[in-house]
Structure formats: C-alpha cells, structure tokens
Amino acid sequence: MTTPIRAPHIVKAFSEELERLAADVAAMGGLAESLVSDALEAAATRDGDLAAEVMARDVQVDDMQRDIEKKIIRLLALRQPIAQDLRVCIAALKIVADLERVGDLAKSIARRVPTLNESDPTPFAASVDRMGKLVLGHLHQVLDAYATGQARQAVGVWERDDDVDEHYNALFRELIGAMTEDPAMIGPGAHLLFIAKNLERIGDHATNIAEVVHYLVTGREIASERPRGPRPEAP
Amino acid sequence: MQGFRGCHNPVVSGGMVKHRSDSSAPRMLDRPRRRDIALTAGLCILVLAVLALAGEVSPGVFFAGAAATAALAFVYYLTALSAAEPAKRIGETARVRDVDGEACETMLDRLPIPVLMIGAGGRIERANPAARAFLGLGAERGLLSTVLRQPRVLEAVSAALRGEKGAVVEYSTMAPLESHVRAFVEPIRLSTPGPMPFRAMLVLADDTSSKRAERMRADFLANASHELRTPLASLAGFIETLSGPARDDPEAQERFLEIMRVQTERMRRLIDDLLSLSRVEMNEHLPPAGEVDLNAVIRDVREALAPVLGPRDISLELRPEEEAAIVVGDRDQIYEVVENLVENAAKYSADGASICLCVHYGHTRDAAEHLPERIDPESGRLTLSAPALDSDARYGVVRVRDSGQGIERRFLPRLSERFFRVDGQKSGPTSGTGLGLAIVKHIVSRHRGGFTVESAPGKGSVFSVFFPVSRKARVSPPSSSAAQEASTQPVAH
C-alpha cells in the first residue's frame, strides 16, 4: 500500500466501505433503540407478547455485532487505514460493543415483564416510563450525533447523564420507601429496581458512545470529568 | 472504438428523464465525432505524405496507405451515421416525455408528503423536499440507514430492492419527540440495463395526530373518571346528610353547603385543566408559528395576578430584559405557562413573601437550563422537558424564583406528572389540581423549548422555561432583503 498513486477506484471502494460501515453501525443502533423502546412499551402496557418478541430479537443485535466486527477486522487487515479512517474503524468497533450491551439490557428489561404482570399494576410504572423516555432520548440523540458527525451534540448528551442519575436516585428512594411500607410491593418493587438499574446502565452506554463520537470527530478525548449525579448506593 | 463510444453516450443521456434535450442536442453530440474521424484520417494521410516526400516510403505505399485510411474513415463515418440514428429517435421521445416528466417533477417537489427513491445498496437516489425536511437530509446522496434507523423499514426496503412485494410498516419514536409514522415501501422496476433493475419507493405518512387523538381520548376518560370520583363521592355524602340527619339544622346546612361549593369549584377547575391539557397535548407535535415578547408576557401576568397576590401581600418583582425578547410561540400558551408557574410559586410561598420573575434573552441551551450558580450547594436540579440538542439554537428564558418551602429532591422527577402533588398539598380550598406543571411541560414541549427546576428544601425553588428565539431576530442588523428571506424560512424545527 506504499504506492504513491492509488488508482481512483480503490479509494472509492474504500471510502464506500467506510460509509457502509458507518451505515451498518447506525442500523444496529436503530435496532438497539427499537429493542429498548419496545421493552419499555411492553413494561408500560403489560404486554407479554411484545416482551417475548424483544427477547427473541436480541439475537439480531448479537448477529449484527459479529457481522460488523468481522467487516472491521477485514478492513483493518486489507486497507490498513490511518488517521480519520482508522478512527472510523475503531469508533465503530467500540460503538457496536456498547450497542450489544444495550440490546442485552433491553432484553433483561423485557424478561421482567411477565413476572411484573403477575402482580397488580403499581403507581411507579409512570416513573419508570419517564426515566425510560429520557434514556431513550439520550440514546437517540447520541446516535443522531454519530450519523451526522456533530461532536457538540454528543457532548451535550454526555453532560446530561446526571439527569438520568437524578431520576434513578429518586425512583430508587421511592421504591425502597414503598417496599418498607407494604411487603406486597417487595416482589414487583425488586423487579422495577432492576429495570431502573438497567435503564441507568443504558444511559451510561449512551454516554460511552458520546465519548466515542467526540473522539471520532475531533480525534481527542472529552477533556473534563463526567458529571455524576447522586448515587443511591453511596449516600 | 470511436463509433462505439459515440453511440453509447446519447443513449444514456436520452434515457435519463432529467435530461433536458432541446432539438439540437443529438446533433451536437454527433458533430465532434464526425469531425474526429475526418481529422484522424487527414492526419494519417499527412504523415504518409511527409514520409513519402522525405523518401522514406515509396509512392506506391503512400497511395495504398492513403486509400486504406480514406476507406476506413468512410466506413467509420457510415457507422457513426447509423449509430446516431437510434439516438436521435430516443432524443425525440424523451423530449415528448420530458414535458410529462417536468410536471411530475414539480408535483413531487410540491407534495407535502415525504417520498424517496432508494437505489441499490440502500442509497438514497432521490428525495423530494418534504422528505429532506422530514429526515433532515443534506444535499448529498447518503445511505438510508444513516438517516432512518428503523430496522423494520430498512428490512422492507431491502426486500423491495430484491424485487419482493412491497409492505406497509408502522414505526414510532418516543423520544426526544413522540412521532408515529407509517412507511409504505414499494418496489419499482426500472428499464435501465444492469444487474439491479429494482428501486424501492418509500413514502412516509405522519400518523402522530390520529394516534395521539386515539390515546388522548382513552387517557382523558381514565383521568377524568378517576379524579372526579373523589369530589363526587363527597358531594353525594353531603347531599345524603342534608336530606337526612341535618334536615332541620340550619347551621350544619350552611357549613355543608359551603364545603359543597368548594368541592364543585374544585371539580370545575379540574375539568378546565383537563380540557386545557388535552388540547395542548393534542397539538404538541405541531410547532407554533407566532412571535411573543417575553417582557410583555411577564408584565401581563403581573397585572392579571395582582388581585390574587395582593390580599396575601406577595410581591412580584419583575426583571425584564432591556431589549425585546422575541421568541417563537403562541402568546396565549406562553402566558398560561408563566401564569401557572407564578401561581404555583405563590402557593408554596408564605404570605408577604416575594417572587422574582426574570427574563433572559439569547442564551445557549446550557445557559438557559439553569442559573449560573446553584441557589444552595445541596439543591437538586433537573430538566423536566428538553428540546433536541442543537448547538446553534438560542433561547429566551423566563425564570420564576420563590423563597418558599422548596421541594425535596426525590420528588423532582415526578413534578410534571399528572395529578402529582407533593405531600401535604392534597386538600384545602387553594389546593391545585396537580395538572398545572403537566400543562406547562406539554406547552413547552410543543414550543420545542425546555422546562427545568432547581430546588432546595427550606430555600425555595427556581422554575425556568425557555423558548427558541425566532430566526428573524437572530439575523443581526438586518438589511431589508435579508430580513425578508429569513421570515420566509420555516421556523425552528
């Protein structure tokens, strides 16, 4: 690859491969996003069938990750990209790993829906749903930032992760309160806690992706420390 | 070789509907080819002549060569003529179809429904302006999956590209803005040669209004029936008492009737708020188009609330921005937002307290969200509703600051929930319906603005709402034409 003159069609094929890679990652992001949104809807509407469908669809995300990783390895081996091109490959590699985890977390939310359906509806569904919408919004905007290459938008999401923590914290306290008052709440309460924790983790993955997008566009890490909201575990 | 290239070009350009062919186009393409042949042949003969004059070749070879070249040129010339014929015919038919094509083009451009054509590999080949606006497409021909990440739409599109039957796919995004879209995917077989004759047509229909209306109706019934049951039950109880045990007790009657009056008043307020909420929610996805001066709004609110705040000796301090703070919005709705926030602040303030209403203009999203300094080191801050991130957007902000009892941190996320009241606010004649902040949130979200809260128990709260600055105002010292241009642009999406 040290030949000074590269035939134009090779460059074109390469840039097309990179473009397709980014499009694949975006499509995988869409899939992960739809898993989270469907899992939340299943939880909100107590829809067991939709939850089962989400669990089944998680395999697609895993397949896509494997597929994209293979493509990246091939790209690295055959084209030996440098600079921006290398960053595109590395960023894609990191983002698909995060998205795969997001898919798993969505699946884990969906897995709790049938159990939650066995008990009566709780008044906390609205809080979980609100937190879910917030996290989903973060994921959506960070994937938009990836597709459009807007580092500032990614940083915006990254800075707002403490909102998710604030929601998580509030929900945590509310649920603990409700569970101490009423032992019947312990069952559904524990599951809701896990759902909230999963959502908080999805938010973290969204901020990870934001960091990668910033790196991809600017070539630098985000300088400052990530703002952290309150942690219920450590009062 | 020459002839082949020449006959290929016009076919391609004639096949493209977009190609504007006036009558001279085929001949224009034809002419250089004929000239090329003549030139090449002439040069050949010239070279042979020079060689013959120099004595390098014998005159016999010269004549034979010249004759052969001339014959070759003649044959090429004939081929060129016959090859140009079909191109001419295609040019003519294309011209006839172009009138139609142009009309179709214009229709497609004016169509308010997003229509896209997707080519091989999922590349967007054409998109009408509605589609560009809807998907936020730039000018470049990108891949569909980068702008529309919906897995089921992408699946349907790739099926259509393989020539399979079209499909109707529904998808919805819940955040940051809710939308429901129906996507119609249909394969189109083009007559262009090549291994990939199929294109996919993608038509997107925004279904948000009807979906919302559907859900709103169900929600309204559920909310109304649930919340109205309590005052109704108490009314029923009092009526029973009045017609039974208290029939002959004028003092009890007086008291009960007063309670009943309060309860019916509460029911009326509840119904008003519920109606207002569902009206706002219904239109939440349609951004408003008017312009509002925030300074004027806070003045109006002070005037309107003076009779309510006066008796409680609550003073309302205004800190308007010096210049006009024009934002995009619906004047009545923004007024309702500020009025709700001030009423809310008054509710949580002691008599004789003061509430501060200030306006800031031209802030970035970060600056608009919260005060530069926390009101208390322990205060909780939360964004209750936020627009999509846009680093270019500027906002006009209204902050309502009170020094009342404040709100505990764990209640902050629930503030904009319907019927949520912080404990201890459940009853009493001044108690709210629990819908005020929900209405604020929905109005703000309709305006593509934001709504945040900062509060510390014992110290008070700050509620901030911010609305996008109108684009016209953003054009600094406007020349008249620039201002006109800006005003015709669609307002912040």
DSSP for B326-384, written as a single string: EEES-HHHHHHHHHHHHHHHHHTSPTT-EEEEEEEEEE-HHHHHS-SS-SSTT-EEEEE
Chain A hits for B413, CB-CB cut-off 8 Å, are 127, 130-131, 166-167, 170-171
Name the residue with higher pLDDT: A113 or B492.
A113
Helix (H/G/I), strand (E/B), else coil: B201 = strand
Residue-wise pLDDT tens digits, B363-418: 888 888 888 888 888 888 888 888 888 778 889 999 999 988 888 888 888 888 87
Name the residue with higher pLDDT: B308 or A93.
A93
- Among the partner residues B146, B366, B388, nearest to A141 by beta-carbon distance: B388
Residue B356 φ/ψ, nearest 5 degrees: -110, 130
Residue of B174, B417, B419, B422 best to disrupt the A interface, most CBs of A under 10 A: B174
What pLDDT score does A109 carry? 95
Query: B363 and B460: one domain?
Result: yes
Verify whether the Cβ–Cβ distance B383 to A163 is below 8 Å: yes
Query: B270 and B398: one domain?
Result: no
- Among the partner residues B149, B152, B386, nearest to A29 by beta-carbon distance: B149
Q: Name the nearest CA neighbour of A103 among A207, A190, A205.
A: A205
Q: Is A52 on the interface with B (CB under 8 A)?
A: no
Query: B101 and B10: one domain?
Result: yes
Ranges of residues in chain A with a pLDDT under 50 are 1-9, 234-235
Residue ranges of domains in chain A = 8-218
Percent of chain B whose pLDDT exceeds 70: 82
Chain B hits for A167, CB-CB cut-off 8 Å, are 382, 413
Please determine, for residue B265, whether its predicted confidence score (pLDDT) is greater than 80.
Answer: yes
Residue-wise pLDDT tens digits, B313-334: 888 899 998 888 899 999 999 9
Verify whether the Cβ–Cβ distance A156 to B391 is below 8 Å: yes
- Closest approach of A143 to chain B, Cα-based (Å): 9
Model pTM score:
0.74
- Closest approach of B108 to chain A, Cα-based (Å): 26
Tell me how many residue pairs between chain A and chain B have CB atoms under 8 A apart.
101
- Among the partner residues B150, B366, B388, nearest to A30 by beta-carbon distance: B150
Verify whether the Cβ–Cβ distance B389 to A156 is below 8 Å: yes
Verify whether the Cβ–Cβ distance A34 to B383 is below 8 Å: no
One-letter amino acid for residue B127 of the chain: A
Kindly state whether residue B493 falls inside one of the protein's structural domains.
no
Query: B384 and B243: one domain?
Result: no
Under 8 Å CB-to-CB from B376, ≥6 apart: which residues? Answer: B456, B459
Q: Is A22 on the interface with B (CB under 8 A)?
A: yes
One-letter amino acid for residue A219 of the chain: G
DSSP run (H or E) holding B132: helix B129-135
- Among the partner residues B136, B175, B391, nearest to A133 by beta-carbon distance: B175
Strand partners, B358: B319, B399
Chain B hits for A145, CB-CB cut-off 8 Å, are 389
Residue-wise pLDDT tens digits, B35-57: 777 888 888 888 888 888 887 77
Residue B402 φ/ψ, nearest 5 degrees: -125, 165
Residue-wise pLDDT tens digits, B462-480: 999 999 997 765 554 433 3
Under 8 Å CB-to-CB from B469, ≥6 apart: which residues? Answer: B326, B327, B328, B361, B362, B393, B394, B395, B396
Angle at B208 between CA A203 and CA B109, to 5 degrees: 110
Q: Name the nearest CA neighbour of B87 among B194, B32, B20, B6.
A: B6
Query: B120 and B195: one domain?
Result: yes
Chain A hits for B147, CB-CB cut-off 8 Å, are 147
Verify whether the Cβ–Cβ distance A166 to B389 is below 8 Å: no
Verify whether the Cβ–Cβ distance B382 to A163 is below 8 Å: yes
Q: Over chain B, what is the mean pLDDT?
A: 79
Query: B25 and B151: one domain?
Result: no
Query: B291 and B281: one domain?
Result: no
CATH superfamily entry for domain A8-218: Phosphate transport system protein phou homolog 2; domain 2 (1.20.58.220)
Kindly state the DSSP code that residue B469 receives in the 8-state scheme.
B
Which residue among B91, B107, B123 closes a domain? B107
Residue B381 φ/ψ, nearest 5 degrees: -125, 140
Residue B198 φ/ψ, nearest 5 degrees: -95, 140
What pLDDT score does B80 carry? 65
Q: Which of A213-227, B259-273, B279-293, B452-466 has the highest mean pLDDT?
A: B452-466
Verify whether the Cβ–Cβ distance B151 to A29 is below 8 Å: no
Query: B451 and B390: one domain?
Result: yes
Kindly state whether residue B308 falls inside one of the protein's structural domains.
yes
How many domains does chain B fold into? 4
Are the CB atoms for B157 and A38 separated by under 8 Å?
A: no
Query: B214 and B346: one domain?
Result: no
Which residue among B206, B241, B271 closes a domain? B206
Query: B328 and B475: one domain?
Result: yes
Please determine, for residue B82, whether its predicted confidence score (pLDDT) is greater than 80.
Answer: no
Chain A hits for B172, CB-CB cut-off 8 Å, are 37
Name the residue with higher pLDDT: B160 or B76.
B160
Q: What is the CATH number of the domain that holds B473?
A: 3.30.565.10
Are the CB atoms for B228 and B270 separated by under 8 Å?
A: yes
Name the residue with higher pLDDT: B38 or B129.
B129
Query: B93 and B164: one domain?
Result: no
Q: For A25, name the nearest residue in chain B, comparing CA atoms only.
A: B146
How large is the average pLDDT for residues B167-178? 82
Verify whether the Cβ–Cβ distance A131 to B413 is below 8 Å: yes
How large is the average pLDDT for residues B145-157? 88
Under 8 Å CB-to-CB from B235, ≥6 apart: which residues? Answer: B260, B263, B264
List the 145-164 stretch of A: residues with Cβ below 8 A of B.
145, 147-148, 150, 152-153, 156-157, 159-160, 163
Verify whether the Cβ–Cβ distance A23 to B383 is below 8 Å: no
What pLDDT score does B147 carry? 84
B→A contacts (Cβ < 8 Å), by residue, are: 121-122, 136, 143-152, 154, 171-176, 365-366, 380-383, 386, 388-391, 409-414, 417
Q: What is the CATH number of the domain that holds B252?
A: 1.10.287.130
For the CA atoms of A5, A9, A15, A20, the dihedral, rounded to the nearest 10 degrees, stands at -160
ipTM over 0.85: no
Q: Name the nearest CA neighbour of B489 among B473, B475, B471.
A: B471
Q: Is A203 on the interface with B (CB under 8 A)?
A: no
Query: B182 and B273: one domain?
Result: no
What pLDDT score does B69 carry? 84
Domain span including residue B267: 209-285
Chain B hits for A130, CB-CB cut-off 8 Å, are 413, 417
Q: For A21, name the nearest residue in chain B, comparing CA atoms only.
A: B146
What pLDDT score does B104 carry? 86
Please determine, for residue B58, whether its predicted confidence score (pLDDT) is greater than 90.
Answer: no
Under 8 Å CB-to-CB from B144, ≥6 apart: which residues? Answer: A23, B116, B118, B122, B123, B124, B154, B157, B202
DSSP for A106-133, written as a single string: HHHHHHHHHHHHHSPP-TTHHHHHHHHH
Helix (H/G/I), strand (E/B), else coil: A49 = helix
How large is the average pLDDT for residues B253-260? 87
Confidence of residue B431 (pLDDT cuts 50, 70, 90): low
What pLDDT score does B297 carry? 92
Cα first-last separation, chain A: 57
How large is the average pLDDT for residues B119-129? 86
